[in-house]
Amino acid sequence: MIRSLIFNILFYGVTAIMVTIGVPVLLFPTSVVVKYANIWAGVLVFLLKHIIGMRHRIKGVRPDHPVIYAAKHQSAWETIVLYAEFGNPAPVLKKELVYLPFIGLFFLKIPSVPIDRSAGRSALKNLMAAAAKIKSIGGSILIFPQGTRTAPEATPRDVPYHSGTFAIYQATGLPVVPVALNSGLFWSRAAFTKRPGMIDVELLAEIPPGLNRRDFMTRLEDAIETASNQLPGMAEAAKAKAI
């Protein structure tokens, strides 16, 4: 608990300082802002390693061409660290984030794919248009197909996969790289306490363009869920839920 308290004070304190003093960075080219964001991710990794004892390792080779990374979402950890580790793909994010004081300016500056969940049917159309724009500049995209953080023991029945990933897949014609992980075992979506240990991330085989919606969604869900459930600690989490 004490280590988690120290970590939170330092991380959120450093974040507030970096966001505030970093506003002039927004006047520089996007590439500079992205590097500044990577420094922030580096601070997180450093604090987690040296205060909490939390590390991570990535299995698989990052593609050398634009793709859509479709990742399991169990904590805030992957929203920061995977952005840096995967070469700064444009994140799919809630549009309201760009209205946050100061930090929202950074979301506006970096390439991203905002989605307005209150926009109804037009949200998917806008999502597809934004994703196509990222493809046109040769960028990759990062999306969390379940749309929210899930507990390690949660199943797709608890938190289903949404069609936004297929919409982007269809609009861009890019291959999709499913990403399995077990970050929720160490940094859960609700708990204050962070736990020491090794976060495993696995890049899975690409799903090629051209599949229909049913085949794509089935293949995506099966790949992510099967691989995630085989990562260290995940079987124990599932058993604990069943008891």
Residue 163 is given by DSSP the state: T
In a domain, 18, yes or no: no
CATH number at residue 106: 3.40.50
Instruction: Write the CB contacts of 45 (distance below 8 Å, at least 6 apart in sequence).
Output: 56, 81
How confident is the model at residue 114, as a pLDDT? 87
In a domain, 104, yes or no: yes
Q: Where are the alpha helices (DSSP H) in the chain?
A: 2-21, 30-47, 77-85, 103-109, 121-136, 164-172, 213-229, 234-242
How confident is the model at residue 94, as a pLDDT? 85
- 52-61 pLDDT, tens digit each: 999 999 999 9
pLDDT below 70 — which residues of the chain? Answer: 119-120, 237-243
In a domain, 31, yes or no: no
| Pairing, β 54-59 against β 113-115 | unpaired
Minimal CA–CA distance to 147: which of 161, 166, 168, 129?
161
With 0-12 / 13-18 / 19 or more C-beta atoms within 10 angstroms meaning exposed / middle / buried, residue 20 is: exposed
Give dist(CA 212, CA 151) in Å, integer.
Answer: 29
In a domain, 25, yes or no: no
How many independent structural domains does the chain possess? Answer: 1
Residue with tokens 């899930």: 150
- 178-231 pLDDT, tens digit each: 999 999 999 988 778 899 999 999 999 999 999 999 999 999 999 999 999 999
**Domain range enclosing 129:** 54-242
In a domain, 9, yes or no: no
Tokens of 180: 């399995």
Tokens of 116: 């307005």
Give dist(CA 42, CA 152) in Å, integer.
Answer: 25
In a domain, 43, yes or no: no
Give dist(CA 128, CA 132) in Å, integer.
Answer: 6
In a domain, 10, yes or no: no
In a domain, 16, yes or no: no
How confident is the model at residue 238, as a pLDDT? 61
Q: Are 156 and 195 in contact (CB under 8 A)?
A: no
* pTM for this model (two decimals): 0.93
